[in-house]
Each structure stands twice: as structure tokens, then as C-alpha cells.
Amino acid sequence: MTINVGDKLPKTTLVKATDAGPEAVDSQNYFAGRRVALFAVPGAFTPTCSAKHLPGFVEKAEDLKAKGIDEIVCTSVNDPFVLGAWSKSADAADVTMLADGNGDFAEALGLTMDGSKFGMGKRSQRYSMIVNDGVVEQLNVEAPGEFKVSSAEHLLGNL
């Protein structure tokens, strides 16, 4: 079942990519008590993710924060070391990278996709959401192969 607006985020463990190394975080605790712009990509360093998705959130970070967003988070079915390297290469210090290495978070949200055709296995669908105190306030899931509604611009326009 896919998560919907008004639903509480599921409890899973994500791994935060930090300069000091990987840091396990409980998804419910992490999103509690604040308003977060969360977006997911099928994979770090992939074409659309690197050329459009992440750069859009880096570019719009201040605008999102001016609209009441406390933190911007990117998640992907990658390990924290890959997400850390991607963050550095994209100069994305304003975006917190949370690795979903086994895809447990994406699966619990009901937002997985099969990337086997591209040698990527189970991945997260491309989406964006606003999470307010652990509850989904806004959800934008892309159609396969699309990049429109999960963009920073679209999310910002709906705030």
C-alpha cells in the first residue's frame, strides 16, 4: 500500500551520511517535531538525479526554508558513502543525505520501482513530499520516466 497525505511515516532505519561517517537514524524520530522537504531519487549519480533533481533542491534551499521548511532531505537506495560522495560532488551541503541501502524505507512507503532492466535492482520511485512532524502533508510521485512533480520548483509552488 502506498503512503498517502495524512499518513505517519513508517518506522525504519536510514543512515545519515556525515563527515564523521555513517550515522543510523530512526525514521520516525528523525522527522518528528519539524517540517521537512523530503525527496527521493532512483540513484545517486544517475543522469536526471544529478543534472536536475538534486541541483534543483540545492538551488531552491533558501526559498524552501523561507516558506517554513526546517530541513531538506534526499533519500536513495544507495549506501551512505555513495550519497556522501554525491553530496560533495554536487556541493549539496544544504541537503541532508539519508541512505536507504536495503530499500526498506522505500518499501515501507510503498514507493519502490524495479530498476533491474538497468542493472539497478529494487530502487525508490522518484517523489517529493513535505513531512510535518512525521506526517505526510504533501506527496508528489512521478510517473515512470518523468521529472515534473517531484522537483523543488513544484514543491515550492505548492507551499
**Residue range 26-52, pLDDT digits in tens:** 999 999 999 999 999 988 887 666 667
147: alpha, beta or left? (left if phi > 0; alpha if psi -120 to 50): beta
pLDDT in the model for residue 47: 64
Q: Is 80 part of any domain?
A: yes
Known active-site residue 49: yes
Q: Is 63 part of any domain?
A: yes
The single residue of 9, 37, 44, 49 carrying the catalytic annotation is: 49
Q: What is the DSSP letter of 53?
A: I
Q: Is 7 part of any domain?
A: no
User: How many domains does the chain fold into?
Assistant: 1
pLDDT in the model for residue 19: 83
Domain with residue 150: its CATH number is 3.40.30.10
Q: Which domain holds residue 69?
A: 13-157
Q: How many CA atoms lie within 13 A of 27 on its CB side?
A: 21
CB 122 within 8 A of CB 112: yes
pLDDT in the model for residue 55: 86
Cell of 60: 531552491
Q: Is 5 part of any domain?
A: no
